[in-house]
Structure 1
Amino acid sequence: MSLTSLLPIALTLLCVVPGHVANPAPHYPALSPPITRSPGGALPAAPYSVAFSKKVPRRKEKINALSALCGHSGSGNGAKPGSQITVPLAGSNFDSDYLVNITIGGQNFSLIIDSGSADTWVPQQGFQCFNLTGSPVPSATCNFGTTGFDVNMSKTFEPFPNVSFNITYGTSEFVAGPVGFDTVSVGGLEVSRQVVPIPNVAAWTGDGILSGIIGLAFPDETSVFNTTDPTTASTQNQIPYDPFFFTAVKQKKVEQPFFSVALNRPTPEQEEHDAYDPNLGILAFGGIADVPVLHNTSTTVSVQTFPSNATGADGKFFFYTIPIDSYNFPGSENVPEARNASLGNGTTILDTGTALNLIPGPVAAAYAAAFDPPAELTSAAGLTLYVAQCNASVPPFSVTIGGQAFSVDPRDQLLPVVIDEQGDVACVLGTQARGGPDISGDFHLLGDTFLHNVVTTFNPIDKEVTLTQRVAY
């Protein structure tokens, strides 16, 4: 049974941490002294809240690879009217991306919500489309869900002169071009003069619905540069700016500096048969997303700084990187990197833009061996994935963070994918190794496999993250 047709999805799932086209110096995490505490009181309800609420077709690179990827269904309980800003989240790529409706300069777009990047961008009308190897192709090939942002149709748009935008994502997709300022609104939360890149060059494999990305990471992860030529972008001419939520806080549009995400999983039937899924979760601004949670399971930890040799004021914040205490499953007591995750030689990023958990290799190998029958490591074209029988018994799995163990539902740990034209199906594990079975890797990721099971409340101003176990759904 060949896994060749799994390669497109594997590349998408395993390589999502953004990197700039200009190839800046790599970011390596330094473990700043963690703050670990239980909140003194309940997090406030969010005044702005929007649900993911659309169904969309799968993206082209997954047409022949993805049957029923880990997903985002069920229904979140919305906030009481007037109590919070809640944004509905939609499912894209057969629910491997979460979308939110957003308005820029009075024009509507559906954007991927991404805690692993910081720029909010949409393509400019008349953009040039390229394939992933850099060759020009018709604009329809990029398959955005828009013809592009029309600067002439916005009454509030202002150009940002003498700068450019340039970013390449781990999928090899890239966008570049000019930048402007405009009014941005998400779920009723509106900010003015937000920096908005409007690239006129794109290599993208869209689904006909998603139109860009809303990035929620830190200013130092933004990708605007002090040059009009995007190809000369570098760390030396980077101009960090305030991402959308930072702007909202500075403009005092929210009383509390929190945004909160609850990502739902769909049923396998929805993932396999529905190209357009409603009620896939909640994005809330100013407080916690209003979904059922287990009492007394919240913990708050500090976000860690980059790079590894930074100390004191030299430390910078890029992603929501947090310390992990341990990974827990049958047999984990025999794996030093599982008992003490700090031995894994890397910090961990909470990323809504990644479908899988990518953890230290020895931990992933031990977890794969705990399946019954055991999951097997399969290699294809230089990629390695743990694959199991779809009826395998899934061992329990939890991650201890800030002294609190957060369990992961077994349904998130076996992800069925079509592997050939005959319709044969294999199940990829939702928790994989980053760097191979014997390699710990320089950083790790907790993606949607983990995030389906918690409410994640980000406080980028105080540089903390609060996690709360969700009620099973």
Structure 2
Amino acid sequence: FHSGKKSIRYFSITRNMSTIYRIPLTKNEPSSKYSWKERVDIHLNIAKSKYGRLTDPRTLKEVAAKGDEPISDYSSDIGYFGPATLGGQQFQLLFDTGSADLWVPKVGYNHGAGSQHNTFDTKKSSTFKTDKQPFSITYGTGHTSGIAATDTFDFAGFSIENQAFGLADTVSDDFKDSPFDGILGMAFDQLAELRAPTPFQNLVNQHEVSSSVFAFLLGRQKDGTSKNSELTIGGVDPKFSSHIKFNKVVDGRGFWQIALDDAQVNEKQVEIQGKEAIIDTGTTLVIIPPADADAIHNAIPGATKQSGTYLIPSDTDAVVSFTFGGATYHIKTEDLIVDDAGNGLSVSGIQGDNMPGMEDTWLVGDVFLKNVYNAYDVNKKAVGFAQVK
């Protein structure tokens, strides 16, 4: 599927090119109908499905060049989401730096009238176009599929004509419980299974933003900061700008992947060196190689492991820190505790597992990202952090 040239038009408002544009975000919490062990497994399965493409012996370039290759993506169903409009129709989208495609469900998709999701009605859009090429997205424990299309996409005060997206007519059962309607990928274009620029890349390509940076502030429900969560487009929040330290992307596959210096527990260094980390707002946990997870939890008093899941004392005061580019960032203890496991223990926000084809790579999700203002520069290919107090 090739979407052709993208054009961008403005709303009828006056713009200042030096202005950053903000989208308020809402946090999606995992369903309480599952046990703590099931919820951990859901997180791990989502990540494995999302990054499973790396086990394919073909390069991403070879996959993209094959005209009959199914369009697919790997997306999370737990994270931060916000408002956008596609073809004049309102949606709540998960903003995901770990993928690079946009998709929404079609009206009448397989969950039908009982669904609480906003759905896309092709009859309500005069700008909808499709050549009916199929796409298939694998995520979590299921999948979604439909056709590739283009339409006008509005977010953060911008309107992007002919934006490529996937229109899903089938989604897996686990999707029906999510409060967001679809996914907006924000990784690099070479990851896009639709083989088209992301909405933000379109804005950069057309010089519609003064800066090639977008950034996230991710709050938490535990301390009431969830209401402050937001995505900024075309720059960073001025109160963080002087504190952000950027790290160059070290991998050319399309992920926001940077070098990890080391990790500490209670300011004592853990023997972890020479690793790289993918920064992913669409992943909840920090998922790392089992040997690294052992090293971190061995340094946390009272930590244990049950059925492959790392548990920590519910009253722990441990502080885990990661160092990127010589700067150290701390994870609040409350973010290490992600679920009650009973008997005075809680599920750790850091879990050990080998992602397919990337056994030495860390997957750094919201457990860490809630503690830093995280910024992404698509032109300079760099990820920046500033500690959030």
Alignment gaps of 5+ in structure 1: 30-91, 130-137, 225-239, 271-276, 306-315
From 222, 230, 235, the equivalent of 1:282 is 230
State how far apart, in whole Å, the 2-side matches of 1:327 and 1:285 are: 30
C-alpha contact 1:123 1:200 (8 A) present in aligned 2: yes
1:128 partnered with 2:117: no
AA partner of residue 123 (structure 2): N
- Which residue does the alignment assign to 1:202? 171
From 391, 397, 401, the equivalent of 2:324 is 401
User: What pairs with 1:35-114 in structure 2 (closer than 5 Å)?
Assistant: 96-114=78-96
User: What pairs with 1:51-450 in structure 2 (closer than 5 Å)?
Assistant: 96-129=78-111, 140=114, 143=115, 145-146=117-118, 148-159=119-130, 161=131, 163-169=133-139, 171-205=140-174, 206-207=176-177, 209-224=179-194, 240-267=195-222, 279-289=227-237, 292-293=239-240, 297-305=243-251, 316-330=252-266, 333=269, 335-336=270-271, 338=272, 340=273, 342=274, 344=275, 347-372=276-301, 374-379=302-307, 384-391=308-315, 393-417=316-340, 426-435=345-354, 441-450=359-368
State how far apart, in whole Å, the 2-side matches of 1:429 and 1:21 are: 24
Normalised by the size of structure 1, how large is the TM-score?
0.65
State how far apart, in whole Å, the 2-side matches of 1:23 and 1:198 are: 25
Distance 1:22 1:455, change over 3 A: closer
Alignment gaps of 5+ in structure 2: 1-33, 61-75
Distance 1:361 1:257, change over 3 A: same
* SS in structure 2 of the partner of residue 183 of structure 1: strand
Pairwise CA RMSD: 3.0
Distance 1:27 1:458, change over 3 A: farther
CA drift at 1:195: 0.2
Identity %: 26
Distance 1:442 1:21, change over 3 A: closer
Structure 1 residue ranges, 4+ long, deviating more than 6 angstroms after superposition: 20-24
State how far apart, in whole Å, the 2-side matches of 1:27 and 1:296 are: 42
State how far apart, in whole Å, the 2-side matches of 1:21 and 1:176 are: 17
* SS in structure 2 of the partner of residue 121 of structure 1: strand
Distance 1:155 1:21, change over 3 A: farther
State how far apart, in whole Å, the 1-side matches of 2:51 and 2:127 are: 28
Query: Higher strand fraction: Structure 1 or Structure 2?
Result: 2
Aligned residues: 337
State how far apart, in whole Å, the 2-side matches of 1:189 and 1:6 are: 41
RCO comparison, higher one (Cα < 8 Å, 6+): 1
Normalised by the size of structure 2, how large is the TM-score?
0.78
